Amino acid sequence: MLTVTLVLCATVALASADDAAANHTDTQALRCLPNWQKHNNRCFYFESSTKNWVNAEKQCQTMGGNLASIHQDDEHKFLQSLTQVEVWIGGSDCQTAGNWFWIDGTIMSGTFWCPQKPDNKQEECCLQANTKIGKCWDDVACDTLLPFVCVKPL
């Protein structure tokens, strides 16, 4: 009887430890890494060093993400809360002028263009956010050096 009780207690203790470890792992998976900010089940990272659009995207990829894609008004406002300066985000129409897409493959919907933008000049095919008074979007030359915002899913 004592043996059965000990086996039962050990089994319960091991199951409880496994549950605690699984819950800790699940909680860890739902958090962003240090210096990344959580919003809408994604993690955003502001990089203050300046790079051209391509090199900014490469750096985001080395951190497991892409230049940020923005899909809703609350994400646009969140981006503005991360930084007040002009930044690269992940939109481009370099393949075909006027055919904008997000580098992470998501569909571009809900845009925040400045008035009369984009002007779809071939030499201005990368997306800059936080432009002018309205903190809106502008299409600019991809070789411009700007800070940038990366994003990755949780």
Per residue in 23-46, pLDDT (tens digit) is 444 445 579 999 999 999 999 999
Backbone angle region of 63, left / alpha / beta, with phi > 0 → left and psi within -120 to 50 → alpha: alpha
Q: What is the pLDDT of residue 144?
A: 98
Alpha helices of the chain — where are they, by DSSP H?
Answer: 2-29, 53-62, 73-82
Name the residue ranges covered by the structural domains of the chain.
1-30, 34-153
CA 34-148-121 angle, to 5 degrees, is 160
**For position 88, what pLDDT does the model report?**
98
Select the more confidently predicted residue: 133 or 19. Answer: 133
> How far, in Å, CA of 142 to CA of 77, rounded?
24
Q: What is the rounded CA–CA span in Å between residue 86 and residue 131?
A: 6
* Better-scored residue on pLDDT, 138 or 27: 138
Query: In which band, very low, low, confident or very high, does the pLDDT at 134 lie, cut at 50, 70 and 90?
Result: confident
The pLDDT mean for the chain works out to 84
> By three-state DSSP, how is residue 98 classified?
coil
Domain 34-153 in this protein, CATH class: alpha beta
Model confidence at 83: pLDDT above 80 = yes
The closest of 86, 11, 18, 22 to 56, measured between CA atoms, is 86
